[in-house]
Amino acid sequence: MKSLMVITALALTLSAPAASAAPAPALAKPTGDRPVGTAALARGDLFYPAVSASGKRKQFMTGAEAKAALAEAGITTIPPSALTAVRTDAFVDARPAGRHLPLVVLSSGAELTSLAEDLASHGTVVAVTGRTADVPAVLDSLLRSKWAPLIDPSRIGLAGRANTIDAVAADPRVGAGLDLDGTTDGPPPALDRPFLFLGTEARQPDWNRLTGWKRSLVVAGTVSASFTDLGLIGEQLGVGFGATTPAARVQAVTAAYVRAFFDEHLSGEPQPLLAQPSARYPEVGFARTSTPYLPAPTGDRPVGSTSVYLKDTSRPDPWVPSVPYRELMVTLFYPAAASTGPKTQYLTPAESAALLEGSGLDVPPDLLTTMVTNSVADVRPGGRHLPLVVLSPGYTKPRATLSALAEDLASHGYAVAVVGHTYENSGQSMPGGRFAGCASCEVPHDSAFWRKLVLGRAADVSFVLDSLTRSKWGSLIDASRIGMAGHSVGGASSLPTMVADARVKAGMDIDGTTEVPLTAPGLDRPFMFVSHRLAATACAPGNEPWERDWAQLTGWKRWAEVAGTQHASFTDVGLLADEFGIDTGATTGGVRTQAITRAYVNAFFDQHLRGEPRPLLDRPGFPEVSFCH
């Protein structure tokens, strides 16, 4: 049993004579604003919001419960009083406050008392029972008892530490389930209701049996005991369990995420805490998720975005000659005047289906329409005359796959134009319900193709600059401070764009092979290469296209390499791969790579568009980064 280690450690501590009297251990204090009452049930205890904070406080464990716990661990030298001395914050038989409240059953006995009291202090009724197998009987009894008016039978959840999926699947009254670093005796049944894993490690074997909303969250520096009151008490008594995150902190993290889960799935209140990692709880990692998300921007400004349709009538489309003009879609990101409003949709249903087609993922084709973004759609801009960064995505990738980088730049005060190069990606939704597929994918991909692609993108970017600076968005942009970056062929297009258009003052190529050579007289404006590590050792020779072009760069220049990454790591594709559990071969995680990418892109444009020196460009600021030149 998971409690065995805890009780044994307590035995070693408590059997030693105390040098002096110490304060009695205490449970975590409830964080809600309501007093908590408690009453005994036939199979456990009930906790609930109370009218007032008065009366007798409940024991953490009765003598019988303490004796049973110690007997189960085979310990005979510890008096049960070591556990019965602890008092809780719940008042015995206090009068209940409220009606038709959500009910959460905790199937782990007294060791989750702090969690039960916290939920009750926020307006939830909590039934604590010792065994998962007792859950149906507990529900039957409660819903037919004097407690029935207190409970809303349509809002019932279950959290436990053993066979929780089985219990939720077996009882249709339970609308949502949570596994708190629990165990499973065998393969669980399929379940289509919301489910959350919160614990010491990702729960991979059970993941595919869950077909509804799901998350697997890992709390760093924990052991199983960290999530319980036994771990909390043991820590206060000086018992070390091997955890590096203090038990009191883990209790706070656990209470926050459990509350958020049941608030969202029992009460219908969306919880940002469940959408993406939170800076408030850096210990919590999103190991797996059914709803993909972008990491929050690192700047201090809210972000807005809007889609802009552009039509260049001066040239035919390079991939569909029957179209006598070039159409482009651009997503413009910018600092926003407000942080409230509907968030930007990541992809349309048609774009999502096109990108996921052939991915091998067993997911709905419209999954990426649910991607959690951080920019408010069509909100009013909160600035004028901002530096502009143009971003160009990799071949076959929609412009949305650079959203995490674009949102971050905007949060730091940049206007960002992400270009959708029509017919060069998996598919792009156009005005009037039209959809443009990947016409260029049908063309042989020889050296002439790549040259045409890159030079065409340079023409696209120049047209975007012409259009934006002469449009209603012109006042948002400082036309004297324009930069360009891109990934893969989008990054490789930065050089020919800068050669052709002097308005682009600085450029960056993120892991893109430069198919079109940079020839004399070269380029005297700032340029930076960033790549994944191409060999076992850092900065190994062999990247001939970059080495060729490096010699032609006569202005400020830098060449950086990021260890543990793969080609897709620098974009949202790398983030999605981690969230979906896809092994891309990268050993540096997508979130970490995105943090590195954001840091260097921001630093580069801060220095070369804003004139603000950035030490990050003078020496590697991350252990994964090496400067090759």
Tell me which DSSP letter residue 529 carries. E
Which tokens in the block code for residue 606?
Answer: 């801060």
Q: What is the mean pLDDT of residues 450-468?
A: 97
Higher pLDDT, 316 or 85: 316
Give the range among 233-247, 318-332, 451-465, 538-552 with minimum mean pLDDT.
233-247
Question: What pLDDT sits at residue 227?
Answer: 93
Q: Tell me: the pLDDT tens digits for 58-112?
A: 988 888 887 776 565 444 544 677 778 889 999 999 999 999 999 999 998 778 9
Cβ atoms of 157 and 105 within 8 Å: the answer is: yes
User: Which neighbouring-strand residues pair with 49?
Assistant: 36
* DSSP H or E run through 383: none
Q: Tell me: the pLDDT tens digits for 492-521?
A: 999 999 999 999 999 999 999 999 999 999
429 Cβ contact list (under 8 Å, min separation 6): 329, 348, 350, 351, 435
Alpha-carbon gap, residue 451 to 454, rounded angstroms: 5
Q: What is the mean pLDDT of residues 373-383?
A: 95
Question: What pLDDT sits at residue 387?
Answer: 98
SS3 call for 279: coil
Alpha-carbon gap, residue 38 to 380, rounded angstroms: 50
Q: What is the mean pLDDT of residues 523-537?
A: 93
Q: Which amino acid is at 325?
A: Y
SS3 call for 537: coil
Position 458 confidence tier, pLDDT thresholds 50, 70, 90: very high
Q: What is the mean pLDDT of residues 24-53?
A: 94
SS3 call for 474: helix
Alpha-carbon gap, residue 618 to 560, rounded angstroms: 11
Alpha-carbon gap, residue 628 to 120, rounded angstroms: 57
Q: At what angle do helices 403-411 and 590-609 cross, to 10 degrees?
A: 50
* DSSP H or E run through 215: strand 214-219
Pairing of strands 386-392, 477-487: parallel
Q: Which amino acid is at 219?
A: V
Alpha-carbon gap, residue 530 to 627, rounded angstroms: 9
Whether residue 9 is predicted with pLDDT greater than 60 in this model: the reply is no
Question: What pLDDT sits at residue 7?
Answer: 42
Mean per-residue pLDDT of the chain: 91
Whether residue 549 is predicted with pLDDT greater than 90 in this model: the reply is yes
Cβ atoms of 102 and 155 within 8 Å: the answer is: yes
What percentage of the chain reaches a pLDDT higher than 90?
75
Q: What is the mean pLDDT of residues 43-51?
A: 95
DSSP sequence for 546-590: HHHHHTTB-SSEEEEEETT--GGGGSHHHHHHHHTT---S-SS-H
Cα-Cα-Cα-Cα torsion 566, 569, 571, 573, nearest 10 degrees, comes to: 100
Pairing of strands 195-199, 284-289: unpaired
Phi, psi of 263, deg, nearest 5: -60, -40
Question: What pLDDT sits at residue 12?
Answer: 44
Q: Is the dihedral of CA 175, 179, 183, 186 positive or negative?
A: positive
C-alpha R_g of the chain: 29
Report the chain's terminal Cα–Cα distance, integer Å: 56
Question: What pLDDT sits at residue 236?
Answer: 84
Question: What pLDDT sits at residue 234?
Answer: 80
The segment with the largest mean pLDDT, out of 174-183, 240-249, 390-399, 528-537, is 390-399
Question: What pLDDT sits at residue 20?
Answer: 46
CA angle 137, 189, 143 (to 5 degrees): 20
Question: What pLDDT sits at residue 405?
Answer: 98
Question: What pLDDT sits at residue 199?
Answer: 94
Question: What pLDDT sits at residue 79?
Answer: 60
Cβ atoms of 83 and 58 within 8 Å: the answer is: no
Q: Tell me: the pLDDT tens digits for 191-225?
A: 999 999 999 988 766 787 888 899 999 999 999 88
Question: What pLDDT sits at residue 569?
Answer: 95
Whether residue 21 is predicted with pLDDT greater than 60 in this model: the reply is no
Higher pLDDT, 64 or 627: 627
Residue 328: half-sphere exposure toward Cβ, Cα within 13 Å: 31
Alpha-carbon gap, residue 256 to 30, rounded angstroms: 11
Q: Which amino acid is at 2?
A: K
* DSSP H or E run through 497: helix 494-500
Whether residue 442 is predicted with pLDDT greater than 60 in this model: the reply is yes
CA 524 from centre of chain: 40
Cβ atoms of 283 and 218 within 8 Å: the answer is: no
Question: What pLDDT sits at residue 362?
Answer: 76
Question: What pLDDT sits at residue 280?
Answer: 92
Q: Is the dihedral of CA 138, 144, 146, 147 positive or negative?
A: positive
Q: What is the mean pLDDT of residues 611-620?
A: 96
Cβ atoms of 424 and 319 within 8 Å: the answer is: yes
Whether residue 19 is predicted with pLDDT greater than 60 in this model: the reply is no
User: Which neighbouring-strand residues pair with 87?
Assistant: 59
Tell me which DSSP letter residue 356 carries. H
Position 183 confidence tier, pLDDT thresholds 50, 70, 90: confident
Q: What is the mean pLDDT of residues 454-462?
A: 97
In the block, tokens 């916290």 appear at: 118
Which tokens in the block code for residue 35?
Answer: 């007093």
